[in-house]
Structure 1
Amino acid sequence: MRLLLGLCFLGVLMVWVLAPTNLWRNNWLLNIRTRTDSKYFGTQCANMLIYTFPILFIAALGCVYLHLGKKGGNYTESSSKSHRLASWKRPVIVKGPLGVVSAMELAFISMFIALLIWSFSTYLTVSFSKINKGISHSHDKKWERKLRSTGFYLGFLGNICCAFLFFPVARGPSILPLLGLTSEGSIKYHIWLGHMAMTFFTAHGLLFLVYWALTNNMAQILKWDNTGVSNVAGELALVFGITMWLMAFPRIRRRAFELFFYTHQLYIIFLFFYVLHVGIQFFCIILSGVYLFLIDRYLRFLQSRKRVRLVSARLLPCETVELNFSKSPGLFYNPTSIMFINIPILSSFQWHPFTVSSNCNMEPEKLSVIIKSGGNWSQKLYQTLSSPAPIDHLNVSIEGPYGPTADNFFRHEALVMVSGGSGITPFISIIRELIFRSTMSGCPIPRVHLICAFKNYVDVTILDLLLPITGTHSDISRIQLKLEVFVTREKVRATMDTQKLLRTIWFKPSPSDAPISMVLGPNDWLWLGIIISTSFAMFLILLGILTHYYIYPIDHNTNNVYSYLAKALLNMLFICISIVVTASAVTLWKKKQNDMAGKQIQNMDVATPTTSPSSWFYNADREIESLPHHSLTQNSKVHFGARPNLKRMLLECEGSNIGVLVSGPKEMRHEVATICSSGLVNNLHFEAISFNW
């Protein structure tokens, strides 16, 4: 299976390399078009066969591969494989517009840029040679024709970027897990591709404006050809694309995230006019990425329509909230997974990602996320829950959880976790997984050195969330944990009332609430593969019927008779219908199974604890004084008025295979990456956990 997937992937890459050459365009492509010219799929059949089908085949077969891998055990990398890849995963670029870039990422970036340069230069060479030979029948001067050709192929470069643009933002499909990537870690690839695509598209549009102005043909701006390229649609697509592009720059995105978020939804309109501009035949070149994204987006929509059961909330004096949800026992996720949350009482449209801190092995019926007050949304949440008269029920919708398919932390003999502020949250899930693994015989557990930096001593109370509310295996003494805490803005230990360290709020159940259950994805790879394959088959059947009985009798597979607009709209309609029908059918079937499994949890009446109001445990009698606050915060090594000397601490780590994980501010990630890539030691393996949306 792995060999077949690798060969298919290599074939797709070779198509992109060969596409600009005369050998491909004048021989192989013509032969494929001749052989696929039928009454059922028309002229777009060749591009669907070359560009769309192979990727969808990889995605569907990849679902089967991931299902078998999950059935056979966890996806932990072998030590030999990890050692071979260690040098490729080492950071080579730390500071700059690209952020922290590993050697492997730099290699792929270089190859992609080489592909763009190769494609552009080859296309122009072939085009200019025809112009110089006088093959073109245009009455324009040669330099004008060359200008037009340059503008056209700049647009084609943007199309190449768009062909890969949607894969990093599809959270559920199997393409990213097959490559060992996660959606949150691949967002930067989407950003890079987006910048390149819009640069090329903008240059494409400007050059055509210059060309029309020089040839006294500005009337082309208002051209909407019924059987050819629509300039108006292209201009509208460019306007919406530039709007998204400008709002996505870091300064605007970080200062006005809502503006960025809402304008980014214009991608729907952008794609609509893009298809009308280039035609459905050309759109098939990027259809595979868009198709998988549409499946993922619709499945997320179905999941977000449900209200989930919020059991309780723990409030810390550092303005941090831990939300505890009921979940289906069959829902599986790995440490460092994330979940998107929407709370209508705060905002009907805002969705925010948070790290899942719970462990599905220790807490099979509960899922927790930790939210530190920072922005307006999180501050409003804390104020709502901490008000003197808190609400007894909260409507919450979620998407996810999404995360890695592999527990790669266990390949190291020791782990050094460096966190800043709320960056501790992904490490909580890792530590809980280590605690669970420590109860299993024959499972090596790496040593853990946790380095935490907080601004104020009150923030240290977030460490009390290292252990779950429930769970029979929650003894942190089972693992070798060295904890060092740095309080940067205070020079002495502040006095805190231990009775007010934690406050637990229990919410009343609602009949409309349901336990969290994944619609599809890592928990149901086979069903996702069925949706991909059956929806595409349904699309081909609908397209074949339409073409055979309606379009072909009109145009006989010529491109200058039947309307481009009508053909594009019908294709988009069939794609949407196929995805909606198949995904809805599978989701309804899975919903019945989840409802049967979660019926007991959903109908459970949760009673408020009868002991201390600040009791941690659900249906337990332990008081706050008996909790590990003393062992985790007061007995840990706390440094006041100082920042961690990360270089000294990392270089002094003993062992041949040390995993260095960092989660926190950008400056901290860059500092740790610089140390790991300095070449002073070879036993440090860097991995950043960053959620920069």
Structure 2
Amino acid sequence: MDLVRTERKINGQIKNVQLGIKFLVLVIFLGYMMIWIMMPTNIFWLHWLPRIHAATASTYFGLQGANFLIYSFPILLIATLGCLHLYLDKYVDDADTRVQKTAHFVSWKRPVLVRGPLGIVSLAELSFLLMFLALLIWSFSTYVHVMFKNITRQAASTMNESVWELKLGSAALLLGLVGNVCLAFLFFPVARGSSILRLFGLTSESTIKYHIWLGHTTLTLFTAHGLCYVIFWANTHQISEMIKWNKIGISNLAGEIALVSGLIMWITSFTLVRRKIFELFFYTHHLYIAFVVFFVLHVGFPYSCIMLPGFYLFLIDRYLRFLQSQQKVRLVSARVLPCQAMELNFSKDPRLSYKPSSIMFINVKSVSKLQWHPFTVISNNNTDPDQLSVVIRCEGGWSQKLYQKLSSRIHRLEVSVEGPYGPASTSFLRHDMLVMVSGGSGITPFISIIRELIFLSSTSEINIPRVLLVSAFKKSEDLAMLELLLPESGTVCNISTLKLQIQAYVTRERRPTMDNQKQLQTIYFRPNALDRPISSILGSNSWIWLGAIISCSFLIFLILTGLLTRYYIYPIDHNTDQIYSYTARSMLNMLLLCVSIVIAATLAFLWNKKQNAIYVRQIQSADSPTSIASPAPESRSYNIDRELESLPRQQSLEQFTTIHFGQRPDLKKILLEFEEFDVGVLVSGPKKMRQDAAEICSSSLANNLSYESFSFNW
């Protein structure tokens, strides 16, 4: 009893620390947003900013020190505090965290917009979207009021220009200023390992639509910004301004190059192009490098601090992903199902922990050296401590090539991975019942969730919700996907301890046509001395390491740029910003920023790589010789065919499964029949299925339904 009380006391103390961190983050964030609200006003430019400049101006940072303090430091501090909060999660009882999710936020997650250009939008998302639009409108209208009130006929005649021309030039400028608001938030959703997203319970997959919204708005404003300036220059006979690259001040040509790069990305990101020619979208999107570089050269590095925090965190995440992708991982085996689905089983570091519904990005060089594709992790962190598995359906050119390779009975496949990435926590246990609705390969997120629930129902005393799995497939052979609900061994956990019901629908067949004698092919791959188990790029304490990288790299950057300014730039311009080239200053600062990230992240990576190597050697020395040699010796066949009917776990699934042929699931009838107080509805599948389920959950007849979707086809 004393031990239990001590553990609860420690958990309570840690939760209090986490609550304090969240409160501090909220205060910092509100202060940061206050800066954005006040930025268009004269109060900010005539009173606040001069005082901040006076307090921060020095021979080490010059005038850009104020921008570091206002725009960069708050967000990087939030990211670091977020890392600390997530690190403390490992010391809190995870089961308690999932059960104690309060229900007063449920209404904020209910869908309010279902069918429209924005997709499925919850009340919380709509509220934040309206607040962001209000910020843009406020910024635009305030800038217009401030700028236009100084434009008079007398001022226009003095400059030999008409009033409307001066207003057009001012409008062009303020469109760029408002566009910077969107650009400042553009890169946050695409940092896959972001602590800020996890701190707010988000993942990069669930927030990718925010990146799309911000991208469209940013480039709309910047395009209008550029067009207005071109029209202004043409009417005032200053068209030569288009090719000017000023040593001091704004460089017009750099801005035009940035805009062209952005337009190419924008055009190829529209749904019609992205889904039909994905490779074109994928490759042209790397023009973000040119876009950001020339944007910085266009406005200068000090002003670029406005968008620096989001891009800085993205650069750290991108470099860590690059380091992880350079390691070859150990692919143990692959199973090819009759429905042309492939299960890849990787060796995993037992210390690597991930949540159900996590995803992992995979690159197979023999299929494509450049293409990376995301797949849901179906294995369970508790039941499969040494193995990580993903499922790939043959639905595109890349997966078809991979299927052909596996069908040709190869003995080795070189694979690189990034991830896994997943939610910081899950809340499945707070529901009285779970209804999982899937279509086709959309069942994959639910495989890991069901495996987790089976484990918890077998090993803990927590009340596990009833589970109904509604799966729609095109053909009866696709029913083989249900076999993945249990691990390959089938004996780790007892599925009978879970209150599970499976309703499977075969939509294009009125009777079973699957050949019961069709073979399931299992392929075991030869081990390679250079291959390593999948492990966290920053070890078991990855969040605290990420926080250290963010803070240390920024500190290194401040030291380097301070030394550069004090001993090289300051002797030339003495903080006047009127002598030393803006382009040279921007290039040097961008170089120092990248060097700082590389130094901090590489040192952390090498340290953890060394620790991982020591751990692997310890594990290998503790293993018996027979267990080390267990994966398919040279004399053994690497390809094993087994009949599906011979799998013992199928018999355990049959008692929970009802199959319907020639019909689709009636979601309205299924979802509205439950009387439980809290029913969690998880949907993963085609867009129409997600919309239908969201529409039902948003109706007044479904007050007990909580909607959540998994979408990977944005």
> TM bucket by the smaller chain?
over 0.9
What displacement does 1:613 show? 6.2
In structure 2, C-alpha distance between the alignment counterparts of 1:291 and 1:531, rounded to whole Å: 11
Match of 1:409 in 2: 428
In structure 1, C-alpha distance between the alignment counterparts of 2:23 and 2:167, rounded to whole Å: 44
What displacement does 1:600 show? 6.2
Distance 1:182 1:521, change over 3 A: farther
In angstroms, what is the RMSD of aligned CA positions?
Answer: 2.0
- The answer to whether residue 40 in structure 2 is matched with residue 40 in structure 1 is no
- Opposite residue 5 of structure 1, the aligned amino acid is V
In structure 2, C-alpha distance between the alignment counterparts of 1:34 and 1:681, rounded to whole Å: 58
- Do 1:309 and 1:602's aligned partners in 2 also have CA atoms closer than 8 Å? no
Match of 1:497 in 2: 516
Return structure 1 stretches of 4+ with deviation > 4 angstroms: 75-81, 133-139, 600-603, 609-616
- The answer to whether residue 81 in structure 2 is matched with residue 61 in structure 1 is yes
Runs of 5+ in structure 1 lacking a partner? 617-621
What displacement does 1:131 show? 2.0
Alignment of 1:628-647 (within 5 A): 628-633=649-654, 636-647=657-668
In structure 1, C-alpha distance between the alignment counterparts of 2:472 and 2:571, rounded to whole Å: 71
What displacement does 1:431 show? 0.3
Range 434-443 or range 50-59, more displaced: 434-443
Match of 1:346 in 2: 367
- The answer to whether residue 136 in structure 2 is matched with residue 112 in structure 1 is no
In structure 1, C-alpha distance between the alignment counterparts of 2:313 and 2:539, rounded to whole Å: 12
In structure 2, C-alpha distance between the alignment counterparts of 1:382 and 1:409, rounded to whole Å: 34
- Do 2:333 and 2:344's aligned partners in 1 also have CA atoms closer than 8 Å? yes
- The answer to whether residue 571 in structure 2 is matched with residue 539 in structure 1 is no
What displacement does 1:628 show? 1.8
Distance 1:633 1:380, change over 3 A: farther
**Number of paired residues?**
685
Match of 1:648 in 2: 669
What displacement does 1:461 show? 0.6
In structure 1, C-alpha distance between the alignment counterparts of 2:638 and 2:317, rounded to whole Å: 44
What displacement does 1:113 show? 0.3
- The answer to whether residue 43 in structure 2 is matched with residue 19 in structure 1 is no
Cα deviation digits, residues 647-679 of structure 1 (max 9, x gap): 000000230000000000001000000000011
- The answer to whether residue 489 in structure 2 is matched with residue 465 in structure 1 is no
Match of 2:455 in 1: 436
SS across alignment from 1:569: helix
Alignment of 1:232-247 (within 5 A): 232-247=253-268
Matched-pair identity in %: 56
- Opposite residue 567 of structure 1, the aligned amino acid is R
Correspondent of 1:126 among 146, 150, 156: 146
Match of 2:609 in 1: 591
- Do 2:539 and 2:612's aligned partners in 1 also have CA atoms closer than 8 Å? no
What displacement does 1:605 show? 3.4
What displacement does 1:129 show? 1.4
- Opposite residue 297 of structure 1, the aligned amino acid is R
Match of 1:89 in 2: 109
SS across alignment from 1:95: coil
SS across alignment from 1:306: coil
What displacement does 1:436 show? 1.1
In structure 2, C-alpha distance between the alignment counterparts of 1:469 and 1:646, rounded to whole Å: 31
Range 122-131 or range 660-669, more displaced: 122-131
Match of 2:444 in 1: 425
- Do 1:676 and 1:686's aligned partners in 2 also have CA atoms closer than 8 Å? yes
SS across alignment from 2:464: coil
Cα deviation digits, residues 288-343 of structure 1 (max 9, x gap): 00100000000000000000000000110100000000010100000000000000
- The answer to whether residue 209 in structure 2 is matched with residue 191 in structure 1 is no
What displacement does 1:134 show? 6.0
- The answer to whether residue 337 in structure 2 is matched with residue 316 in structure 1 is yes
Match of 2:311 in 1: 290
SS across alignment from 1:207: helix
In structure 2, C-alpha distance between the alignment counterparts of 1:142 and 1:432, rounded to whole Å: 69
Alignment of 1:612-631 (within 5 A): 614=640, 625-631=646-652
What displacement does 1:502 show? 1.8
Distance 1:102 1:421, change over 3 A: same
Match of 1:619 in 2: none
What displacement does 1:72 show? 1.7
- Opposite residue 96 of structure 1, the aligned amino acid is G
In structure 1, C-alpha distance between the alignment counterparts of 2:618 and 2:269, rounded to whole Å: 45
Correspondent of 1:481 among 487, 495, 500: 500
Match of 1:524 in 2: 542
Match of 2:232 in 1: 211
Range 487-496 or range 370-379, more displaced: 487-496
Match of 1:335 in 2: 356
- The answer to whether residue 533 in structure 2 is matched with residue 515 in structure 1 is yes
**How high is the TM-score relative to the length of structure 1?**
0.96
- Opposite residue 500 of structure 2, the aligned amino acid is L
Distance 1:600 1:79, change over 3 A: closer
Distance 1:139 1:448, change over 3 A: same
Cα deviation digits, residues 246-302 of structure 1 (max 9, x gap): 000011000010000000001001111111001001100110001000000000000
In structure 1, C-alpha distance between the alignment counterparts of 2:239 and 2:324, rounded to whole Å: 48
- Do 1:154 and 1:201's aligned partners in 2 also have CA atoms closer than 8 Å? yes
What displacement does 1:179 show? 1.1
In structure 2, C-alpha distance between the alignment counterparts of 1:65 and 1:80, rounded to whole Å: 18
- Opposite residue 325 of structure 2, the aligned amino acid is S
What displacement does 1:496 show? 2.2
- Opposite residue 540 of structure 1, the aligned amino acid is L
Match of 1:550 in 2: 568
- Opposite residue 604 of structure 2, the aligned amino acid is V
Distance 1:434 1:75, change over 3 A: closer
Distance 1:404 1:650, change over 3 A: same
Cα deviation digits, residues 425-468 of structure 1 (max 9, x gap): 00000000001111233212111000000000000011111111
What displacement does 1:36 show? 1.1
Distance 1:636 1:75, change over 3 A: closer
- Do 2:98 and 2:429's aligned partners in 1 also have CA atoms closer than 8 Å? no
What displacement does 1:630 show? 3.2
Distance 1:559 1:138, change over 3 A: farther
Match of 2:625 in 1: none
What displacement does 1:2 show? 1.7
Cα deviation digits, residues 574-626 of structure 1 (max 9, x gap): 0000000110000000001112223467894343397996478xxxxx99624
Match of 1:454 in 2: 473
What displacement does 1:356 show? 0.3
- Opposite residue 89 of structure 1, the aligned amino acid is K
Range 661-670 or range 141-150, more displaced: 141-150
In structure 2, C-alpha distance between the alignment counterparts of 1:533 and 1:635, rounded to whole Å: 52
- Do 2:524 and 2:638's aligned partners in 1 also have CA atoms closer than 8 Å? no
SS across alignment from 2:569: helix
Correspondent of 2:278 among 236, 257, 263: 257
What displacement does 1:138 show? 4.2
Match of 1:691 in 2: 712
In structure 2, C-alpha distance between the alignment counterparts of 1:381 and 1:184, rounded to whole Å: 24
Match of 1:103 in 2: 123
- Do 2:476 and 2:514's aligned partners in 1 also have CA atoms closer than 8 Å? no
- Opposite residue 49 of structure 1, the aligned amino acid is L
**How high is the TM-score relative to the length of structure 2?**
0.93
Cα deviation digits, residues 80-132 of structure 1 (max 9, x gap): 75321111100000011110000000000000000000001001101111223
- Opposite residue 34 of structure 1, the aligned amino acid is A
Correspondent of 1:367 among 388, 396, 410: 388
Match of 1:663 in 2: 684
- Do 1:393 and 1:507's aligned partners in 2 also have CA atoms closer than 8 Å? yes
Cα deviation digits, residues 532-575 of structure 1 (max 9, x gap): 00000000000110101111111111122110100000000000
In structure 2, C-alpha distance between the alignment counterparts of 1:287 and 1:612, rounded to whole Å: 51
Correspondent of 1:579 among 597, 616, 620: 597
In structure 1, C-alpha distance between the alignment counterparts of 2:395 and 2:426, rounded to whole Å: 30
Distance 1:613 1:78, change over 3 A: closer
SS across alignment from 1:439: helix
In structure 1, C-alpha distance between the alignment counterparts of 2:106 and 2:519, rounded to whole Å: 42
